[in-house]
Amino acid sequence: MFAKILIANRGEIACRVIRTARRMGVRTVAVYSDADAGALHVEMADEAVHIGPSPVGESYLRGDKIVAAALATGAEAIHPGYGFLSENPDFVDQVTAAGLVFIGASAASIRAMGLKDAAKRLMEKAGVPVVPGYHGEAQEIVLLASKAREIGYPVLIKARAGGGGKGMRRVEHPDDFSEALSGARREAKAAFGDDRVLVEKYVEKPRHIEVQVFGDIFGNVVHLYERDCSAQRRHQKVIEEAPAPGMTPALRKAMTEAAVKAAKAIDYSGAGTIEFIVDASQGLKADRFWFMEMNTRLQVEHPVTEMVTGTDLVEWQLRVASGEKLPKTQSEITLSGHAFEARIYAEDAAKGFLPATGTLHHLKFPDTAPEGASMRIETGVQTGDAISPFYDPMIAKLVVHGKNRQAALEALGISLSQTEIAGSTVNTAFLAALAADADFSAGDVDTGLIGRHQQALTAVPPPSSEIVAAAALAASGAGAQAPTREPWSSLAGYAHFHAMARRTRLRYGEDDILALVSMRPDGRFQVALDAPYDSALDLRAAPRLARWPGHVTVFSGAVGYSFAVPDPLARADEIAAGADSLRAPMPGLVKLVRAAKGETVIKGQPLLILEAMKMEHTISATHDGTIAEIATEGAQVTDGTVLVRFAEEAHG
């Protein structure tokens, strides 16, 4: 076994690897960028090495710096985690050329499966079923459009490199093919440095079911059963589970055998995942699944497999990479119970899942698992950390296990309702709504479920009068208290012999709220609210809330209602562009400009494309008007930057 390893990653996966390494007596070396100098993975590791500025291209994607750090600290091996360099065969070559061990697949295996088109041709030869489509080398638009017609619409354009839904477009009609192809190519080029694509038949009711495989250098390959990752938004996974709901013995046998066959076809060693698309339109059948791709690394969702099989896949990685045989044979790997993983992100579900930034002023996960269940939290952040625009906005993975699917699902809902995060917009309310969705609860899932139910899943009810009153009560004692201190004690000094009152202002969304807070002699607090609430409430118990600079967040189930608390001594800022301008919803790069200064545009017309988090976001006109100013292509903008300004006569 290794004495010391370097982890070429950050965040929750780096922390995850460190925990297993520590249990095994293996020392760890973390690497970090400027933005991550105070990160949790740096704090947890035995040693840490700075590798560059915050942008990934200058730090976490610099294989030369990472290898140099490993050599300088005496590490014997490098664990790549997932993302970044984990599936880069050139990096594997760098590592091995330096005399170090790469804890993962060989460069040859990664190359064999790294390009979706080549991988599918290889799988066809190995007898693994592949989805109908064009996986050839030619990339002329005329040829691709012709192949799409042959396959039959709807079709899916997919980047042949990478994953995570980047460079992917569904096309319903031939007239839309050209624009969809251009968008897919731009996004693929930005994310993977390769704009080549493949075209496949779009399966109408697709299930995304994948099989965890593991191989060693002695030719042994096993599977650890399947995971269902069908709950997706924007082609990215949201909630994963194991085993797959509705799985039949016939399909499981066919799918796991195909997965093992695929891994053996490339002499695979290490952790890997064979992803399949399943046509669920007529139920799960053994002849209705096809190979999509192989991820030659550990998956984000690997904890659900660990929970239902009682394994530690990171430990397996370390053992296999150090030359040991697989810890278990196929017959020794069994399924037990059901597990869910919910990915908690800093994002605004109501605004199309736009990534969010901010400081995590309050971060609290459940202390214990619900009765009869087990739970684990995988995170790489802690209270006070900032969600940076430089990296994936994942905050944590909440993983639960129960004796069956229903028990695990109930545990997931309870655990989400007890999670408290303030300081950034997060998706916990959306996750809880999805867990409670009737179709999801029944196991009737497919990759289009979230899209079909998106409005209902992302709708957040307005705060009740009780929630507003609680926020007002907390804000009324804001002057001298620390952000986390309960407000009740300061209010106790309001009155000795009679009720006194304090006027408080709040802002929720576009609503300005005026409240009058008083304390009665019997210990009750009364909060009188003006319109639109128009009510007076008596409060006895302290609600779940967090106070942070200029704000109060009140938690109700999985929803966090955040109220701004204006400083009464500060002059209100009345300067706002309003409808006369469009601002960047997040930090990003202006990738493409589709309009010009002086041009007259109509409501809904696409004006420019903003690239953020390696995804493209279209900025469209909110009304008819004439453009007075517009951002230039290639401009790097921050959250709130004016992208488009309309001429005043547009509203004259």
- If we measure between CA atoms, which residue out of 515, 521, 554 comes closest to residue 537? 515
DSSP string, 130-164: B-SEE--S---HHHHHHHHHHH-SSEEEEESB--T
455 residue type, one letter? Q
- Is residue 619 within 8 A of residue 605, CB to CB? The reply is no
Q: DSSP string of 24-87? A: TT-EEEEEEEGGGTT-HHHHHSSEEEEEE-SSGGGTTT-HHHHHHHHHHHT-SEEE--SSTTTT
- Complete DSSP assignment for 113-128: HHBHHHHHHHHHHHT-
Which three-class secondary structure string do you get for 249-286?
Answer: HHHHHHHHHHHHHHHHHCCCCEEEEEEEEEECECECCC
Distance between CA 77 and CA 59 in Å, rounded? Answer: 19
Can you tell me which residue has the tokens 């731009």?
A: 186
> Which pair of tokens denotes residue 482?
């620390």
Tell me the β-bridge partners of 502: 517
Q: Measured between alpha carbons, how far is 268 from 416 in angstroms, rounded to an integer?
A: 37
Return the ∠ at Cα 274 (arms to 132 and 410), rounded to 5°: 110
Residue 619 host element (H or E): strand 615-620
3-class secondary-structure state, position 551: strand
Token pair of 362 as six digits: 């309050």
Residue 254's φ and ψ, nearest 5 degrees, are: -65, -40
CA angle 138, 141, 147 (to 5 degrees): 70
Sign of CA dihedral 301, 307, 310, 312: positive
Alpha-carbon dihedral of residues 156, 161, 167, 168, nearest 10 degrees?
20
Q: Cβ–Cβ contacts within 10 Å for residue 645, how many? A: 18
In DSSP terms, which residues pair with 279 in a beta bridge? Answer: 206
Structure tokens at 641: 């930057």
Could you give the count of Cα atoms lying within 13 Å of 353 in the half-sphere of its Cβ? 24
Query: Burial level of 648, CB count in 10 A (0-12/13-18/19+)?
Result: exposed
The C-alpha atoms of residue 638 and residue 30 are separated, in whole angstroms, by: 29
Which residues are known catalytic residues?
297
Tokens representing 478 are 């804001």
